[in-house]
Amino acid sequence: MYEPEKKQFILKNSFGVSYHVFYEPSRGLCLRMLSDSYIWSRGFVLASHAVNDFAAALDNDDFLHFVFQSRDGSIMCGHGKHGQMEIQPILNSRDTNPWPKYVSLLISGDTAVIFYKIRYSGRHLISMQTIRNGAVSKPLAIDYSDGSGPNYSAFVDNNEKCHIVYTIAGSSRMHLLYRQLKDDFSLFNAPGTIYSTDGSIYFPSAAVDPDNKIHLLFQVNYDNHHEILYKNISSVKPVKTLYKGTAPPGFTGILHKSGTLYSFRVTGSGILARSSGDGGKHWSGEMPVNFSGGELICFIYKTNFKKEKEIFFSSEIPGNFSHGYQLAFLNDDSQDISNIKDYINTPGWKYNIFSKSENKTTDRGRKISDIKNQGLSTDDIYIKKIEKKLLQLQS
């Protein structure tokens, strides 16, 4: 079932190797890895004391970073820079019972930026902290938000600048606001109003195109009808209405792929989408997306893989776990990790899923065909290598 509040994180490193960061009630926050034959490794426990409120990302060196809420309500952050899991507290909680804080995590250069919501003076406050070289900043209050739901979206652009859009309720109207974080991470600029309405605003979603233009999609719900609205932040033109009807539109989002913007909505019958090839000036009619293979799931997909990173951006994307995993709009059945096979079998090269991607220069003295001639299975070598590392870390 497509549930944005139960997101699955898929992270692809610069070699094209995919990781799945997920939550299990009996084990906590876990990590597993996909082989080149689309088989998931055994899950490794990252944090047994985590609850289902987490986020994860890879930095530019393929280091794993993650943030989560613990069972006592505290917010914790971890990474695998030094060959092992290192977890530190970010914010202790006066309320020892966890409640949805909607944590999120961005990586900007060498800085991890953590967002979350807290309760303050009877209201909900969006806040932020950073971690750089192990040093944790003091909490920075961004703004009060409308209610307790997941009504903000934080993202980085192509220049690794941090942005946030969020909703806030005024005396009689609701507003969708946009802000950009200063380069020194000290504070956000003054908020700009994207849209104001007498209705309710839901599901703000952002995509960044190759020209670093920011595109937003969001829902506005009134008593008797619903709308899906689009806005190019760089344009002075007003919002465009992509849907208007009495039926709830479902879950919505926007993404960019290969010069085309896609707005989508997920309903009980599948995925419906529109596309724009001119930066949001004109949109196609709504069409169903032909996507099969299993129950639709809400993914957060972040990639360091060059051929994808240059053409793809999404906040959330629907998909499923068939054939490893598949993502709508981004056909992921052609993972190219031939390089990683060569690296794994190059003498003196160490592949550590929790350490920097080093030795990226190609030594193709030993080809996969040579391995096969020796009667070895590349999949066996690959999986055993990963499982061995996971077992070492777990012990």
pLDDT for res 31: 98
Q: Could you tell me if 173 and 284 lie in one domain? A: yes
pLDDT for res 383: 47
Q: Could you tell me if 162 and 232 lie in one domain? A: yes
Q: What is the C-alpha to C-alpha distance for residues 22 and 30, in angstroms, rounded to an integer?
A: 5
Q: Could you tell me if 55 and 148 lie in one domain? A: yes
pLDDT for res 387: 53
Mean pLDDT of 130-151: 92
Chain segment 303-331, per-residue pLDDT in tens? 999 999 999 999 999 999 999 999 999 86
Q: Could you tell me if 238 and 364 lie in one domain? A: no
Q: Is residue 270 part of a domain?
A: yes
Lowest mean pLDDT among 176-185, 260-269, 375-384: 375-384
Chain segment 329-344, per-residue pLDDT in tens? 986 433 332 233 333 3
The whole model's pTM is what?
0.84
Q: What is the C-alpha to C-alpha distance for residues 375 and 371, in angstroms, rounded to an integer?
A: 7
The pLDDT > 70 percentage for the chain reads: 84
Residue 247: is its pLDDT beyond 80?
yes
pLDDT for res 293: 85
Residue 372: is its pLDDT beyond 70?
no
Chain segment 42-65, per-residue pLDDT in tens? 999 999 999 999 999 999 999 999
pLDDT for res 331: 65
Q: Is residue 39 part of a domain?
A: yes
Q: Could you tell me if 31 and 150 lie in one domain? A: yes
Backbone angles phi, psi at 162, to 5 degrees: -95, 140
> How far is residue 395 from each of residues 44, 79, 305, 341, 361, measured CA to CA in Å?
11, 17, 30, 26, 32
Chain segment 214-237, per-residue pLDDT in tens? 999 999 999 999 999 999 999 999
Strand partners, 257: 260, 312
Q: Is residue 333 part of a domain?
A: no
Mean pLDDT of 166-182: 94
DSSP string, 79-104: E-TTSS-EEEEEE--SS-S------E
Q: What is the C-alpha to C-alpha distance for residues 201 and 386, in angstroms, rounded to an integer?
A: 44
Q: Could you tell me if 38 and 167 lie in one domain? A: yes
Q: Is residue 251 part of a domain?
A: yes
Q: Is residue 332 part of a domain?
A: no
pLDDT tier, 389 (very low <50, low <70, confident <90, very high otherwise)? low
Counting DSSP H helices and E strands in the chain, the numbers are: 4, 29
Q: Could you tell me if 244 and 377 lie in one domain? A: no
User: Which tokens go with 230?
Assistant: 């689009």
Q: Of 327, 347, 377, which residue constitutes the final position of a domain?
A: 327
Q: Is residue 153 part of a domain?
A: yes
The pLDDT mean for the chain works out to 87
pLDDT for res 388: 56
Q: Of 268, 295, 327, which residue constitutes the final position of a domain?
A: 327
Residue 346: is its pLDDT beyond 80?
no
Q: What is the C-alpha to C-alpha distance for residues 385 and 352, in angstroms, rounded to an integer?
A: 10
Q: Could you tell me if 183 and 282 lie in one domain? A: yes
Q: Could you tell me if 232 and 378 lie in one domain? A: no
Q: Could you tell me if 322 and 343 lie in one domain? A: no
Mean pLDDT of 245-273: 97
Residue 386: is its pLDDT beyond 70?
no
Q: Please work out, in degrees rounded to the nearest 5, the angle formed at the alpha carbon of residue 66 by the alpha carbons of 154 and 98.
A: 85
pLDDT tier, 366 (very low <50, low <70, confident <90, very high otherwise)? very low
Q: What is the C-alpha to C-alpha distance for residues 199 and 222, in angstroms, rounded to an integer?
A: 5
pLDDT tier, 390 (very low <50, low <70, confident <90, very high otherwise)? low
Q: Is residue 63 part of a domain?
A: yes
Q: Is residue 223 part of a domain?
A: yes
Q: Of 301, 327, 353, which residue constitutes the final position of a domain?
A: 327
Q: Could you tell me if 211 and 314 lie in one domain? A: yes
Q: Could you tell me if 322 and 347 lie in one domain? A: no
Residue 380's domain spans which residues? 338-394
The number of folded domains in the chain is 2
pLDDT tier, 289 (very low <50, low <70, confident <90, very high otherwise)? very high
pLDDT for res 150: 87
Question: For position 167, which CATH number holds?
Answer: 2.130.10.10
Chain segment 74-104, per-residue pLDDT in tens? 999 999 988 888 999 999 998 889 999 999 9
